[in-house]
Amino acid sequence: MCSSDLLSNFRIFFAGSFVLLIHLWSLGAEEQFYAVSPWLIKKSNNYLKTFVFIIILKMSVKLMVASAHRLLPLSAESLLFLKHLETFLFKLPIEAFAMGGIIAYLFIEKKEAVLNFLYQPYIQWINILSLFVTVPLGHISESLQLLVSINFAIIIINMAGNSKPMFLLDNKYSNYIGQISYGIYMYQIPLIYLILNIFKPYYTIDHAVFWNVLYYSTCTVLSILTALLSYEFIERKFISWARN
């Protein structure tokens, strides 16, 4: 992993980024969390307190920035900077990673009372219904973004530890998609732009539905196919080399 990937979200914030690589902001945020959180855990010697602290700190900073550019009588330049900073904080979702850490802690430490509650069928159904609300609106508010991470954390903990989860994805097909998912993440944006430029001249209002179905289907299929080829002919070799 090169250093530019580790700081990609900072590079996008301070200097802009080539549009085909703009999705790497999420990779940078993830690596930064992995780099800092072990140090914080070691200092505090308490997993749960560390993850709760990260969530409270991030949400507090985000709230202060959001309140400042909405309530304070600032110059146009300062307001623009604060709005830009708010967008950067929105794309630094360390609170979502910390929520995953909390769920992992409950699972590893076998907190049976909490886990049995989360395993209840009615909790799973409420969580799924909540997800249909939070996901479409998650880009609007940091609070909703945190709720989205809670929704997915509950789904993951049920799939990992519940004998009767709502979703069963432990099969060879979903496992293989998991193996090539990094390639899907890396290649999808360049492919989307490439396919869009190829398809754009053929778009018409009369055939908008057909065009969209064909466009999104092509993007999905080619993203998976490209990731598959990358995994089988490139990534496997590096994985084998690393293990040896």
Closest CA to 11 of 186, 20, 22, 1: 22
For residue 167, give every residue at least 6 positions away whose Cβ sits within 8 Å of its Cβ, in sequence order, or none.
Answer: 155, 158, 159
Q: Tell me the Ramachandran region of residue 110: left when phi exceeds 0, alpha when psi lies from -120 to 50, beta otherwise.
A: left
Q: What is the C-alpha to C-alpha distance for residues 134 and 218, in angstroms, rounded to an integer?
A: 28
Q: What is the C-alpha to C-alpha distance for residues 166 and 107, in angstroms, rounded to an integer?
A: 18
Q: What is the C-alpha to C-alpha distance for residues 130 and 149, in angstroms, rounded to an integer?
A: 11
pTM above 0.85, yes or no: no
Q: What is the pLDDT of residues 187-239, one digit of tens each?
A: 999 999 999 999 999 999 888 999 999 999 999 999 999 999 999 999 988 88
Chain mean position to CA 118: 22
Are 219 and 192 in contact by the 8 Å Cβ rule? The answer is yes
Mean pLDDT, residues 41-70:
88
* Range of lowest pLDDT (4-13, 18-27, 61-70, 151-160): 4-13
For residue 121, give every residue at least 6 positions away whose Cβ sits within 8 Å of its Cβ, in sequence order, or none.
Answer: 164, 166
